[in-house]
Structure 1
Amino acid sequence: MPLFPTYDADAHFFSREDALNPIGTFSRHAFFLDDKEWPSVEHYYQAMKFDDAQYRERVRTAGHPKKARRLGRNRFKKRRADWHSVKQVVMTRAVYTKCRTHVEVAEALLALGEVTLVENSSYDYHWGCGRDRRGDNHYGKVLMNVRSKLREEARQ
């Protein structure tokens, strides 16, 4: 195995923090989920880390996805006990709902074809590929799963 894992030459590398990229978590494509309107996927994801309804609301109403992320990373607030086991489902629900709410987001995701999607984060080894590309790339996998689901629905 090479020192740095390789991705196919056609892989699409992107940053989920790019607010101008419709497939990113910072893009301002609001959606309705769990009886509330969420300004972005980042707002929803970060708020769902907590059982405290007041704190979730504080995250939901944050003025910018970066502020929502900062609130979600608050080490003094207790996270849900099951967070580690549900975080990928939470992210998938948010991305799928965003795509079903905004046809242009779904079209942007589908327009990428069948290429491997890689969240190009140097620091995030869970959601991204990490600096050495040995990360799990779970956000890229979430997007590819949602893309497959959208294609499946289009065929029906």
Structure 2
Amino acid sequence: MKETSNGFRGEYDFLSNFYPLETPLYDAKADVWYPTVEHFYQAMKFDNVQIRQALAKHPAKGLKRVVVNLKSYISPHWKHRRESAMAIGLNRKYSQENPTILKKLVDTEGVKLVEYNTWGDEYWGVNINTKQGQNRLGEMIENIRNKHLDVLIGLDYILRNNN
């Protein structure tokens, strides 16, 4: 099976959480729009509305560094919410709200989505040097892709059998 051997770069850069969304993600609590899933995900670590608003406006470059500096303000419940926060962001990214990105995702049918990285994230991705990691991000995106493909297969079946 083909896979994203260079992670979410090059032809697969749209899979990166830093990829700009066609329709930003809205946070009703902070009354702010996030330009990328990464902005949304990092902001969800905090209950403080002012921090969320500031992160939404921060350039993508340096965003993680800012969050590390705000570590003492991260919600004590974050570890229990991180998968849900990522799922919300990814489901919004790969939806009709972002049709170009959704089409690109569906076109990856048959490709194993592996978030190879050089920064050692072995939870969301796979460390490219050690080949170790859970690849949760890749798995979550594949699950979303497969749900969309199931719907498309079902619609195709219905259309073929109703004519």
- Name the TM-score, length of structure 1 as normaliser: 0.82
> Aligned to 1:41, which of 37, 41, 46?
37
Unpaired runs of 5+ residues, structure 2, are: 156-163
Mapped contact 1:92–1:146 kept (Cα < 8 A): no
Instruction: Give the structure 2 partner of residue 91 of structure 1.
Output: 86
Q: Secondary structure at the match of 1:126?
A: coil
Deviation at 1:138, TM superposition (A): 1.0
Q: When the two structures are aligned, how many residues end up with a matched partner?
A: 146
Unpaired runs of 5+ residues, structure 1, are: 1-8
The amino acid of 1:151's aligned partner reads L
Mapped contact 1:10–1:116 kept (Cα < 8 A): yes
CA RMSD in angstroms comes to: 2.1
Output one character per residue of 1:129-148: Cα deviation in whole Å (capped at 9) or x when no partner: 11211211111111111112
In structure 2, relative to structure 1, the CA distance for the partners of 1:110 and 1:46 (3 Å cut) is same
Mapped contact 2:8–2:14 kept (Cα < 8 A): no
Question: Which of the two has higher C-alpha Rg?
Answer: 2
The amino acid of 2:77's aligned partner reads D
- Name the TM-score, length of structure 2 as normaliser: 0.79
Q: Secondary structure at the match of 1:33?
A: strand
Instruction: Give the structure 1 partner of residue 149 of structure 2.
Output: 151
Higher helix share: 2
Output one character per residue of 1:88-129: Cα deviation in whole Å (capped at 9) or x when no partner: 221121111012111111111111112211001131111111
